[in-house]
Amino acid sequence: MNYQTILQEIHTEILPLLGEGKVADYIPALAKADPSDFAMSITCNDGRVYSVGASEQRFSIQSISKVYGFTLALKAYRDKLYKRVWREPSGDPFNSLVQLEYEEGIPRNPFINAGAIVISDTLISKHKENSLNEVLTLIQESAEMEDVSISEEVFTSEMDHSFRNRSLANLMKSFGNLDNDVQSVLEHYFAQCSVMMNTQELSRSMLYLAHDGTDPISKKTFLTPPQAKRINAVMLTCGHYDASGDFAFRVGLPGKSGVGGGIVAVVPRVMSIAVYSPALNAQGNSLVGTKALELFTTKTGLSIF
Amino acid sequence: MNYQTILQEIHTEILPLLGEGKVADYIPALAKADPSDFAMSITCNDGRVYSVGASEQRFSIQSISKVYGFTLALKAYRDKLYKRVWREPSGDPFNSLVQLEYEEGIPRNPFINAGAIVISDTLISKHKENSLNEVLTLIQESAEMEDVSISEEVFTSEMDHSFRNRSLANLMKSFGNLDNDVQSVLEHYFAQCSVMMNTQELSRSMLYLAHDGTDPISKKTFLTPPQAKRINAVMLTCGHYDASGDFAFRVGLPGKSGVGGGIVAVVPRVMSIAVYSPALNAQGNSLVGTKALELFTTKTGLSIF
Amino acid sequence: MNYQTILQEIHTEILPLLGEGKVADYIPALAKADPSDFAMSITCNDGRVYSVGASEQRFSIQSISKVYGFTLALKAYRDKLYKRVWREPSGDPFNSLVQLEYEEGIPRNPFINAGAIVISDTLISKHKENSLNEVLTLIQESAEMEDVSISEEVFTSEMDHSFRNRSLANLMKSFGNLDNDVQSVLEHYFAQCSVMMNTQELSRSMLYLAHDGTDPISKKTFLTPPQAKRINAVMLTCGHYDASGDFAFRVGLPGKSGVGGGIVAVVPRVMSIAVYSPALNAQGNSLVGTKALELFTTKTGLSIF
Amino acid sequence: MNYQTILQEIHTEILPLLGEGKVADYIPALAKADPSDFAMSITCNDGRVYSVGASEQRFSIQSISKVYGFTLALKAYRDKLYKRVWREPSGDPFNSLVQLEYEEGIPRNPFINAGAIVISDTLISKHKENSLNEVLTLIQESAEMEDVSISEEVFTSEMDHSFRNRSLANLMKSFGNLDNDVQSVLEHYFAQCSVMMNTQELSRSMLYLAHDGTDPISKKTFLTPPQAKRINAVMLTCGHYDASGDFAFRVGLPGKSGVGGGIVAVVPRVMSIAVYSPALNAQGNSLVGTKALELFTTKTGLSIF
């Protein structure tokens, strides 16, 4: 199969959709994104790389960073992690407090905000003041980037508009499910959200999830095979907030989206994919990005189902 | 890989668990089941069949019947079906009214009770008094059974203890999401739940979902390839009520459980599996059945992730 | 104080509002009501009666009948009644299932639909096939009416549109909080809702609640003094669904509204008031009726606060 | 009626209950209270005062301070206040986030924590750095105390255990319903909760609510008559969290409780009552205090119903 041709077909087919959806505007740093931007990259387990669009343009990875946090926490705590965060779909929007209150401060999964905040807390407990560095190192090593940077503008903007996440964090703290102080935990969380990457780097970075926890190119091992599979499983059932079922239904791949417009997806044993387009659909996921991935699995048959 | 040996290993390993869990006791017909019963069958796309335990003993398929209902409704209504039932995980127990009320009578997916009741309604609208026959014919043809029978005892028992499902049905009726009268819809629903099958028949029957909608042995086509994939996707995200994430995490296959103790699972492009053990875990799924499937994917590596 | 003058002032002041609000239209029998109708009657503990508007025109009392049901159940079961229905405001619309599910089938109070359905069930358990007669006799005796009639048209219409109440009843049945069959309980419930009364009769009838349980004119005792006080307390906190706080705030009297457009209110130790105007506000209470009562307590100072 | 005799009877009758219930222990400053403490005071509109028990022993008034906050905010903003906080019973525990999220950051009433936090915010907007002084002045003037003090120990303890209230405040801030910064608002809120008063002072202070907004002794006017009535109405429907219906039912007076063990109640046009006993019932209200008030209205007939 000629993946480059397929990417170009997809690029052509999504062009008419580029005006639809709405760029995230809750912080100015995101609102400035150009809704007509688009990029898509594939990195195969055998090292081949294909890209289309602005695949070198970096954007803030936002919730995609939750995959890295989950990876490090799973490595550090193994199954003990699930005492503090579950792995069930939430059936609710990504930042709902309702379920969190009924379930006494235990978030449904690591991919809703509450879950990622707890994950951040566990990383601080484990790595102290190096917790953020651990995330940046994982990103740098898995993507083989020379260096990884954080957008100060995005970070500051997020901190200034963090009331709802602060509400979630304080609620969990009141239930005893945060060990560190709320401010430190939120700083770690928003810093990892503010990491800047492009689709080439993202698709390269996620390859360890397509290859049982070990990067097939660098041979570095980030997780055990069962751990990698389980992150894929949780991405499939929970990776897109309350549109997770729809994404599984339409795309049929484990994936994780970010409000910055990026989505990553994994074809187990074959490849990793990253796509970028900042205008979001009603559920807060990249509208064109979701469509591009749907076209990709339809054209290639590379769904897991 | 020698599947028969693997099944025997699994049988040995689950033996110590056979006392755990609790047989469904909300109706007498189910409460009589022997908690030490166990059976597991595999039917491969190439026609090979492997079984262990009481694989010829029939039991009521209960919610596994929702797969057949979904199949027929998807065939009849295609994407229009999703106006009346969604495809998102519910994040709530299988018979919760809360979400249904907030979401104005549109069930989250076809695999919670409310969703299956709406599906039953659509089948009655389409096939009138033949609606149940259509389900039985699908089962008979896909399983190549000589005839399919319903347990009158289970059916009567279900109808006598149907208050909560009757509550769900009336709520949806009040929102305008049932076209037929509540009594007829519930009769169809409980009749299909009362179908008796064994693990050999179940694993044979689900083969069309492992082979893009067409039975690889009989060559009969039940669904288009995209439709088959999407049923698998919905089984993965929604097939086990609010333990769907856990099942995806531990087993890593699309599957559907029934309160009678059966579970079916699909390895796309490879095989279909059925397991039976009537004692249930806290989420209402077969405790030993779930464990047996987890052992199977661990031993064979046949997870989709 | 000249009550007749006050009633006439109120009549003049509410005239401009008579076009506002919306007549209940979930059943045809109610939808036919004339939104410009208005009536208001006062019966004082000393026997004086004052009326304005169409005070002889009967309408279906609907949820006002819950006061009679509560009266009879309290008399029959005393404090044991509160095991099956609480006396707390619901904070939710009048027919919500959410709270009922979380609270395992125990309704919040006797004035939401679920509570009145349980009350109906207790009356059937106590009085068997005479349960409805008991309610009619209470109405007839307390209002000193010659005979009390039920609108067959309203009753039939209610039964035909009873899906949500049927859902509530089945849910409570599933939790074991209904002893009789759902159909009988709903028939009792809708029959008492379909009783036809006018404002003169209603204000006369409620006098026992303004006089410690004993009608000051006929000297008949319907409740003990503590029981009468407690019905008043529950009317104040729960009598108007999720507008109960607003009614207490604006009117400052115990009261109970019906979707047919009637409202009764009690001035303890002084009088009983009934008002009628069929157009409802957003919370399902008579818009002009609520305003008329607010004007009355403002003009007379006869609030309990 | 000899109120002193009645108070002594009540004191005798509640003695056997003094071991029941549980002192609030979420902060050390409250946990130290002696569960066998009891005091009760009455101040009549004509100036007579009656007390029993340790009526000069001060305790932190906690949520009773919400009455003073509501008084000042109502005076400052009149009906505009209700755009930011409603006056409906919540039907939920006192610090629930669920309802607040569904209702987009508008608290149900001024007597749940979220409502009192909004009230604090409005007072800061109005009085800037004098906001707390305004509350202290109202208390000092209405109680005719020489000076009013705040327990630094209680205040510090509250601030250290404020995660859930901080969660509520941040949630409202995210919905745009807090104008000032969260920290300042919480400091005001916890400071007013930490005011120390005894039952004599409390019963004296609340007299303006028993006399149409004007203290009958000092002749100082704190509210208009309609405003005073409405605070009474909201106390009746909402003053005791999700036991408000039960309090209305058993006691039959407008009242407000605090987790420190105090309760105030108002007999409109007659008197104000304060009671203290630190052990709480399951709903977080003084167990013996509630019982003492119930005995009082039973013995005197001074219920509003």
State pLDDT tens for residues A61-72. Answer: 999 999 999 999
> Choosing from B41, B60, B63, B194, which is the catalytic residue?
B63
**Cβ atoms of residues B122 and B73 within 8 Å:** yes
Give the pair of three-digit tokens for residue B189: 């629903």
The rounded mean pLDDT for chain D is: 95
Q: How far is CA D166 from the centre of its chain?
A: 20
Strand partners, D23: D279
Residue B303 backbone class (left: φ over 0; alpha: ψ -120 to 50; beta: rest): beta
Give the pair of three-digit tokens for residue B62: 């209960």
- Name B187's Cβ contacts closer than 8 Å, sequence gap at least 6: B159
- The pLDDT > 90 percentage for chain C reads 90
Span D137-161, pLDDT tens digits: 999 999 999 999 999 999 999 999 9
Length of chain A: 305
- CA dist C122 to B231, C6, C193, D126, Å? 47, 41, 17, 54
Q: Check residue A1 and give its pLDDT.
A: 78
C4-12: list long-range contacts, CB under 8 Å, 24+ apart: C4/C50, C4/C52, C6/C296, C6/C299, C6/C300, C7/C40, C7/C42, C7/C50, C7/C51, C7/C52, C8/C52, C9/C295, C9/C299, C10/C40, C10/C52, C10/C292, C10/C295, C10/C296, C10/C299, C11/C38, C11/C40, C11/C52, C11/C53
Span C111-164, pLDDT tens digits: 999 999 999 999 999 999 999 999 999 999 999 999 999 999 999 999 999 999
User: How far apart are alpha carbons C193 and C201 in whole angstroms?
Assistant: 16
Q: How far is CA C6 from the centre of its chain?
A: 24
Q: What are phi and psi of C37, to 5 degrees?
A: -70, 145
Which amino acid does the sequence have at C39? A
- CA dist C109 to B175, C238, D103, Å? 25, 7, 23
Q: pLDDT band at residue C90, thresholds of 50, 70 and 90? A: confident
Our CA-based measurement puts residue A240 at a distance from the nearest CA of chain D, in whole angstroms, of: 21
User: How far apart are alpha carbons D17 and D5 in whole angstroms?
Assistant: 20
User: How far apart are alpha carbons B44 and B48 in whole angstroms?
Assistant: 5
Pairing of strands A196-197, A255-257: unpaired
- Local structure of A173: helix, strand or coil: helix
Q: B242: which chain A residues are within 8 Å (Cβ-Cβ)? A: 88
For residue D178, the 8-state DSSP code is: -
Assess whether pLDDT exceeds 90 at residue C103: no
Span D236-288, pLDDT tens digits: 999 998 889 999 999 999 999 999 999 999 999 999 999 999 999 998 999 99
User: How far apart are alpha carbons A222 and C71 in whole angstroms?
Assistant: 70
Give the pair of three-digit tokens for residue A84: 């503090």
Asked if A229 is an interface residue toward chain B (Cβ–Cβ < 8 A), one would say: yes
- Local structure of D214: helix, strand or coil: strand
Which amino acid does the sequence have at C146? E
Give the pair of three-digit tokens for residue A92: 């609710």
**Cβ atoms of residues B274 and B280 within 8 Å:** no
H-state helical runs in chain B: 3-14, 28-31, 65-77, 98-102, 113-127, 131-143, 152-160, 163-174, 182-193, 199-205, 207-210, 225-238, 244-250, 287-300
Which chains, if any, share at least 3 CB pairs under 8 A with chain C? B, D
Q: Check residue D95 and give its pLDDT.
A: 61
Our CA-based measurement puts residue B174 at a distance from the nearest CA of chain C, in whole angstroms, of: 5
CA torsion sign, B295 to B296 to B302 to B304?
Answer: negative
- Residues of A annotated as catalytic (active site), given as ranges: 63, 66, 189, 241, 259
Q: Which of C96, C162, C163, C164 to mutate to test the interface with B (most CBs of B within 10 A)?
A: C163
Is the ipTM higher than 0.95? The answer is: no
Which amino acid does the sequence have at B125? S
**Strand positions, DSSP E, chain C:** 22-23, 39-44, 49-53, 59-60, 196-197, 255-257, 262-267, 271-276, 279-280
Q: pLDDT band at residue C205, thresholds of 50, 70 and 90? A: very high
Asked if A183 is an interface residue toward chain D (Cβ–Cβ < 8 A), one would say: no
| Residue among C96, C98, C174 minimizing CB distance to B167 | C174
Span B272-283, pLDDT tens digits: 999 999 999 998
Q: Which of D170, D172, D181, D182 to mutate to test the interface with A (most CBs of A within 10 A)?
A: D170
Q: Check residue B96 and give its pLDDT.
A: 74
CA torsion sign, B288 to B290 to B296 to B298?
Answer: negative
Q: pLDDT band at residue A89, thresholds of 50, 70 and 90? A: confident
Give residue for tokens 């005791």. Answer: D240
User: How far apart are alpha carbons D171 and D104 in whole angstroms?
Assistant: 9
For residue A151, the 8-state DSSP code is: -
Q: Environment class of residue D161 by beta-carbon count within 10 Å: exposed (0-12), middle (13-18) or buried (19+)?
A: middle
Q: What are phi and psi of B53, to 5 degrees?
A: 75, -160
Span A216-237, pLDDT tens digits: 999 999 999 999 999 999 999 9
Assess whether pLDDT exceeds 90 at residue C165: yes
Give the pair of three-digit tokens for residue D180: 């000032």
Q: Check residue C24 and give its pLDDT.
A: 93
Span D79-111, pLDDT tens digits: 999 999 998 888 765 567 777 887 889 999 999
Give the pair of three-digit tokens for residue A233: 């499983």
* Mean pLDDT score, A145-152: 96
Q: Check residue C1 and give its pLDDT.
A: 78
Which chains, if any, share at least 3 CB pairs under 8 A with chain A? B, D
- CA dist D111 to A106, C237, D89, Å? 28, 15, 9
The rounded mean pLDDT for chain C is: 95
User: How far apart are alpha carbons B205 and B43 in whole angstroms?
Assistant: 9
Question: Is B234's CB within 8 Å of A254's CB?
Answer: no
Span B202-261, pLDDT tens digits: 999 999 999 999 999 999 999 999 999 999 999 999 999 888 999 999 999 999 999 999
- The pLDDT > 70 percentage for chain C reads 98
Assess whether pLDDT exceeds 60 at residue D40: yes
- The pLDDT > 70 percentage for chain D reads 98
Span A155-188, pLDDT tens digits: 999 999 999 999 999 999 999 999 999 999 999 9
B148 is catalytic: no
Q: Give every residue of chain B whose pLDDT is below 50, as ranges.
A: none
A25: nearest Cα among A208, A302, A279, A262: A279
Among C residues 105-124, those touching chain D with beta carbons less than 8 Å apart = 108-109
Return the number of other C-beta atoms located less than 10 Å from residue C48's C-beta. 11
B150: nearest Cα among B190, B193, B195, B189: B195
**Cβ atoms of residues B263 and B288 within 8 Å:** no
CA torsion sign, A288 to A293 to A298 to A299?
Answer: positive
Give the pair of three-digit tokens for residue D52: 């029993």
Give the pair of three-digit tokens for residue A137: 């190192």
Give the pair of three-digit tokens for residue C21: 């609000």
C-alpha angle D263-D266-D270 in degrees, rounded to nearest 5 = 140
Which chains, if any, share at least 3 CB pairs under 8 A with chain B? A, C
**Cβ atoms of residues D237 and C248 within 8 Å:** yes
Q: What are phi and psi of B279, to 5 degrees?
A: -75, 130
**Strand positions, DSSP E, chain D:** 22-23, 39-44, 49-53, 59-60, 196-197, 255-257, 262-267, 271-276, 279-280
B240: nearest Cα among B214, B208, B262: B262
Q: Check residue D103 and give its pLDDT.
A: 84
**Cβ atoms of residues B207 and B216 within 8 Å:** yes
* Mean pLDDT score, C42-70: 98
- CA dist B32 to B60, B279, D56, Å? 12, 11, 68
Span C219-272, pLDDT tens digits: 999 999 999 999 999 999 999 988 899 999 999 999 999 999 999 999 999 999
B125 is catalytic: no
Assess whether pLDDT exceeds 70 at residue C95: no
- Name C5's Cβ contacts closer than 8 Å, sequence gap at least 6: none
Q: Check residue C211 and give its pLDDT.
A: 97
Assess whether pLDDT exceeds 90 at residue A52: yes
Q: Is the pTM of this model over 0.90?
A: yes
**Cβ atoms of residues A120 and A189 within 8 Å:** yes
Q: B86: which chain A residues are within 8 Å (Cβ-Cβ)? A: 245
